[in-house]
Amino acid sequence: MPIYEYVCLECGSAFELLIRGDEKPECPSCGKTKVSKQLSVTASPQTTGGEVSCCAKGMCPAATGGCGGGACGMGGPF
């Protein structure tokens, strides 16, 4: 079940919702159903020359060869 991003056309609030089947999304701020689905970008690791590119690379001593392996949780100052 995908999570979609929406903007409420009534109050302008931006929000994300997990939508199942034919459910109509409802704005959590005002409760209206007049919303617009937004184009969202999926997250994926970026590679450069076979190496993972990460903003936290080199900040975590537990990470060897890149981030995202779960070794450090990427809790650094990004």
Q: What is the pLDDT of residue 2?
A: 76
Say how many domains are in the chain. 1
Candidates 21, 78, 28, 20; CA nearest to 6 is 28
Residue 7: C-alpha distances to residues 15, 22, 33, 72, 74 (Å)? 6, 18, 10, 34, 30
Q: What is the pLDDT of residue 51?
A: 60
Whether 16 maps to a domain, the answer reads yes
30 is in which domain, residue-wise?
3-37
Whether 7 maps to a domain, the answer reads yes
Tens of pLDDT along the chain (78 residues)? 678 899 999 999 999 999 888 889 999 999 999 999 998 766 666 666 656 555 555 555 544 444 544 445 554 444
Whether 30 maps to a domain, the answer reads yes
Whether 31 maps to a domain, the answer reads yes
Whether 63 maps to a domain, the answer reads no
Whether 72 maps to a domain, the answer reads no
CA atoms of 41 and 20, how far apart (whole Å): 20
Contact (CB, 8 A) for 37 and 5: yes
Whether 73 maps to a domain, the answer reads no
